[in-house]
Structure 1
Amino acid sequence: MNKRMTGVMAAGAAVITLCASSALAAAGRESSADMRGVSVLVGGGVEGYTRGLGADIQPGAAYGATVILRPTKVVGLELGYAGASNNFDRSNVAVSEATRGPDVMRNGGQAVATLGLTASPVQPYLLAGLGISRYNVRATAAGFQDDTVGNVPLGGGLRVHLGHFTADARINYNVLVDQQLATDLPSTSATSSTGGIYTGTVNLGSTF
């Protein structure tokens, strides 16, 4: 994990730890925490690539918005927008035309199920789901093209509930399905042999 990713997640951990301390110190913390219902969260962090894709694309900014439905304290169903902006590693990728701004833009959506490991207001959880993203290659780079790619997000995080306020820090790995974004890398229809995507974000919002 690179220094940028480590720094973002350290800051996120600090935010979550502060919220956790407040939640644990509150009287009647389990009954007062709003853990059921609909939550709306927005956030950001860092997104990078692994294996062959990781050698060609540098880590960049990740951002998104999520709507979460929690029928119980431990089960959550999410619909979210997730985006990212990254640059090519110019030492590995031949770019024939300079661009203003990021070289690669990703915009996508995903449906995710989460399972809390506790029913407390400070709740670690696991996640899995399905998603799809549109990649726009803005730089003219040999071996790269626009593409629509399916993905399978897998990961976990820590969520804190303090009244209506909700804070969430998560790390997930996206297994790419049938990616043709990088045409010079060997492709596969069902595995991540060309590489996948790791994302670390901190998200803040409210539960209604």
Structure 2
Amino acid sequence: MLSKGIIAGVAATMALAGVGTASAQERKEGKRGDVNVFLRGGVGDYTGDLGDLTSTGPAWGLTLNVQPTTFLGIEVGYEGSRNSISDARLLEEPALLRQGGSALVKVSPPFLTAIRPFVGAGLGLSYVDVRGQGADLYASDTMEEVPLAAGVEFNSGALTAGLRATYRVLLSEDFTSTPEADSGGLLDASLTLGARF
């Protein structure tokens, strides 16, 4: 039931983003920043008990941001990460390869557009694929998430760049059967670079 509700929420937010995109395209020609598309790259790791089993690894993503007003933004995007597992019971280190999507609502001060600090929250869904040895101890799994983001964007003409950190509250994580690793989230920090339309 929870999974269906999260999927419905993500779908509704994506629909809103589509409406926002159409609305932005109808605005006066020459106004930039209503729609931004950017790439993300950085590092991430699991926290809590899960963090004791994993190592920091690369994180990446592609995001579409629609800005209906100067203080409200809607994001939908793809993100991924790869984290090695440190487990003394295994001769080789397996890795967790995560692929997922999320939708966020962002708020920022209405009077700042060239340098725009923001906070955001939303819903996400990821699939974690266990690569390598460790099938008995770790298994691929789908996770529901609540991403919480904060950062700053630097906007100039057709370009946007920024810094952001995202903490994902994991509503479910069953990729490990290790009893002591039953809690934790996912934290990443990344740089962003993209185009404004």
Q: Name the SS for the 2:174 alignment partner.
A: coil
Instruction: Write the letter of the residue equivalent to 2:146.
Output: V
Q: 2:146 aligns with which of 148, 152, 162?
A: 152
Residue 140 (structure 1) aligned with residue 127 (structure 2): no
Q: 1:81 aligns with which of 54, 70, 78?
A: 78
Instruction: Write the letter of the residue equivalent to 1:112.
Output: L
Q: Name the SS for the 1:182 alignment partner.
A: coil
Contact 1:34/1:162, CA 8 A, preserved across alignment: no
Q: Name the SS for the 2:175 alignment partner.
A: coil
Q: 2:64 aligns with which of 67, 74, 79?
A: 67
The percentage of aligned residue pairs carrying the same residue is 31
Q: Relative to 1, partners in 2 of residues 1:122 and 1:160: Cα closer, same or farther, differing over 3 Å? A: same
Counterpart of 1:12? none
Compute the displacement of 1:118 (Å): 4.4
Question: CA separation in 1, counterparts of 2:116 and 2:31?
Answer: 11
Compute the displacement of 1:186 (Å): 6.0
Question: CA separation in 1, counterparts of 2:49 and 2:180?
Answer: 9
Q: Which moved more, 1:135-144 or 1:37-46?
A: 135-144
Compute the displacement of 1:117 (Å): 2.8
Counterpart of 1:46? 43
Q: TM-score, normalised by structure 2?
A: 0.78
Q: Name the SS for the 2:52 alignment partner.
A: helix
Contact 1:149/1:177, CA 8 A, preserved across alignment: yes
Instruction: Write the letter of the residue equivalent to 1:50.
Output: T
Q: After the TM superposition, list the runs of 4 or more consecutive aligned residues in structure 1 that deviate by more than 6 angstroms.
A: none
Residue 94 (structure 1) aligned with residue 89 (structure 2): yes
Counterpart of 2:109? 117
Residue 200 (structure 1) aligned with residue 166 (structure 2): no
User: Deviation string for 1:80-133 (max 9, x for gaps)?
Assistant: 0000011112xx34225x47xx71100000001110134321011001000000
Q: Name the SS for the 1:53 alignment partner.
A: helix
Contact 1:34/1:161, CA 8 A, preserved across alignment: no
Question: CA separation in 1, counterparts of 2:72 and 2:180?
Answer: 38
Q: Relative to 1, partners in 2 of residues 1:93 and 1:82: Cα closer, same or farther, differing over 3 Å? A: farther
Compute the displacement of 1:144 (Å): 1.3
Instruction: Write the letter of the residue equivalent to 2:32.
Output: D
Q: Name the SS for the 2:153 alignment partner.
A: strand
Question: CA separation in 2, counterparts of 1:104 and 1:74?
Answer: 36
Counterpart of 1:126? 119
Q: Relative to 1, partners in 2 of residues 1:56 and 1:186: Cα closer, same or farther, differing over 3 Å? A: closer
Instruction: Write the letter of the residue equivalent to 1:95.
Output: L
Question: CA separation in 2, counterparts of 1:51 and 1:176?
Answer: 11
Compute the displacement of 1:33 (Å): 8.2
Question: CA separation in 2, counterparts of 1:33 and 1:156?
Answer: 25
Name stretches of at least 5 consecutive residues in structure 1 with no aligned partner. 1-31, 188-192
